[in-house]
Structure 1
């Protein structure tokens, strides 16, 4: 480790609350420690023993970093490299300061389990306590109290609290986005046509037959239950075709749609770069739960894009409940969501919820001897419409598969039945 400003002649080295830089730790030192002469700045203030500070940092490092992976790359020949950052970088991250600050060097000199010659990476995100809540939420939706589930609402209230305040440096990175007709975002929707009659049917009335289905014919999807239609589209034509996963030899018809009024959508992809509020202190005992919420929102983006295999539609329940919460219980009310495509790595999907994507449902009025359906209630109607002369006919001639391969050893049938794949 590099040299620091600690005076070697002093017996018990101490660091004052100002030299640690981290406000949370500084307040803790002021409350719990005694006054002394700081070994870094020579000021008389409340100080923490350096050995105690090193112990705290060692515990944090053990929880959050690991040795980076080794690899080889070509640079005028094969060169060995290790992913990650130096230990000084991670210590400076913990204190929230530059690595030239004296406290970084002082602590690094006391670390016995870490080396200047090794690069370190952040530990992969682990669900921990939040994962337990997430698993309980999923279990409750699939096998427990599905309707009027207060614990599910409590979990979602906590997860999406202050959603509209999550942003980065400008509106370009806001998690809750306003899409307007003036911006004219290109939105595409497609249908697989297994029979030639389906093609002519769409061509005869594309606005009706390519748009969101009526509630009587609405099947369940990732973001909607049966009977509650939603508009599923993509911002690229090839993405909306790929999302259908059409077989070779099939026909697909796609068309362009445009917004007729402003909608408010949650962009899950922006959680990757958004400012989700002040980062909690590593020295806070509740760091994992506070930071975990931030990381879990990013994890959730991956979860909602996982393809659901035929016969496993029950797995849609959790994302359907999340969509209904965003549309009916979230403040501000969300009109739809944007999430990445698993079929097109650079593509994005958009789902517009029923209250903005479809015609209004009927209302029921009271009459002398009961109730009667009065017809559609007043509303602004669908927020999206078909763009004339935008149909494209696609004949699927080739499908590209990408696989994650793992060597499978030969074994008995009993061994396979007990294996966890």
Structure 2
């Protein structure tokens, strides 16, 4: 077999053919692709923007185009190769490589973008795919769908027995059983575990209205008694958690104080007498580039964590149905508080989560250490003032 024919077959198999040109980091927008170019420079001149330097600034276009098409074939496939059903046409309308590149967020110098488009050799028809399969889902999509199914189940189908019952005989590899959602989420939250140092200060605000005479003591400024504890975003009714904030201003907003008021507002200071192990939902991981396939697993992890935090942070309208909207986060918090073990034999102390009322504000909810007496893992009342 001739060398030319062998090369042609290789090109057809991989789906692209790169020009014999050189491209610099200024001609791509994606940070990963920029670093890829900088790490493989072998030319002094860029053939696309004509930039020139006495030191190397550009690499072979083939290096960059390979990374781009590796991503294309990870997230898209040709309809026939991916098994898309055909009946008077494919059931999913294929799109061209230019639209694929746009969807992947690829951009750069117009001439290099066109070179990437022109590199495609197999017909310019693509559909979204995972693992080469048109009906597949990427891991973060599987988990996000599982969370949505869990939310629907505990809100509208069964609240207390979702973890029981027979498992489905046949499940797609792109599905997760509702009973596995909580441990799957907890596992993926492990990288967000951190220790709050002893001596950390947090704040809790409470409003004393006209006609009331209570004083800002530890009892009054702490979590409410079990008998009167209403349902919150994190805690079920009758099971009080201690809600605090890291900033005094955030504590005021969380207590419903948005401006001047004729009521008396007390702000209590609490101290941690010992380190507190928490999951910090404000430590959102960076999302690796879509073109950085070596870190695809980390990308999937980051995408899910960010989507999950967004989902549980959505403001809830106080229209009388909030007790239903709170259920999913209450269930997962109870799982994290009572079942999840950060390390063998230990329990999680609480969660740090972003305030929905103050940009950049952070809240700390502390789980009860002893539910019978209502103690909260070394949280000490340190006084209160107006």
After TM superposition, the score normalised by the length of structure 2 is: 0.61
Shift of 1:342: 1.7
The partner residue of 1:140 within 147, 150, 153 is: 153
CA distance in 2, matches of 1:322, 1:229: 15
CA deviation string 1:184-233 (max 9, x = no partner): 21100011223252xx4133xx2000101121121110110011010000
**Maintained 8 Å contact 1:188/1:254:** yes
**1:63 paired residue number:** none
**2:49 paired residue number:** none
**Maintained 8 Å contact 2:68/2:291:** no
Structure 1 229/106 Cα, relative in aligned 2: closer, same or farther at 3 Å?
A: closer
**2:385 paired residue number:** 392
* 1:337 alignment partner, SS class: strand
Shift of 1:131: 3.1
The partner residue of 2:205 within 144, 166, 190 is: 190
Say whether 1:325 aligns with 2:373. no
Number of residue pairs matched by the alignment: 280
**Maintained 8 Å contact 1:340/1:349:** yes
CA distance in 1, matches of 2:325, 2:68: 51
Shift of 1:274: 9.2
CA distance in 2, matches of 1:299, 1:56: 37
Structure 1 215/382 Cα, relative in aligned 2: closer, same or farther at 3 Å?
A: farther
**Maintained 8 Å contact 1:265/1:336:** yes
Aligned CA RMSD, in angstroms, stands at: 4.1
**2:355 paired residue number:** 341
CA distance in 1, matches of 2:185, 2:214: 43
CA distance in 1, matches of 2:298, 2:243: 33
CA distance in 2, matches of 1:160, 1:299: 14
Mapping of residues 91-170 of structure 1, within 5 Å: 98=39, 100=41, 102=60, 103-105=62-64, 107=66, 113=98, 116-118=108-110, 128-150=141-163, 151-161=177-187, 163-164=189-190, 166=191
After TM superposition, the score normalised by the length of structure 1 is: 0.56
Structure 1 260/107 Cα, relative in aligned 2: closer, same or farther at 3 Å?
A: closer
Structure 1 92/207 Cα, relative in aligned 2: closer, same or farther at 3 Å?
A: same
**2:317 paired residue number:** 309
* 1:229 alignment partner, SS class: coil
**1:78 paired residue number:** none
**Whose strand proportion is higher, 1 or 2?**
1
CA distance in 1, matches of 2:66, 2:329: 45
The partner residue of 2:221 within 210, 213, 221 is: 210
**1:49 paired residue number:** 10
**1:235 paired residue number:** 246
CA distance in 1, matches of 2:38, 2:196: 38
CA distance in 1, matches of 2:159, 2:282: 28
CA deviation string 1:222-264 (max 9, x = no partner): 1100110100000000001011223653532111111122221
Structure 2: where are the runs of 5+ without partners? 19-25, 42-58, 73-96, 102-106, 114-137, 164-176
CA distance in 2, matches of 1:257, 1:109: 52
Structure 1 152/232 Cα, relative in aligned 2: closer, same or farther at 3 Å?
A: farther
CA distance in 2, matches of 1:245, 1:56: 61
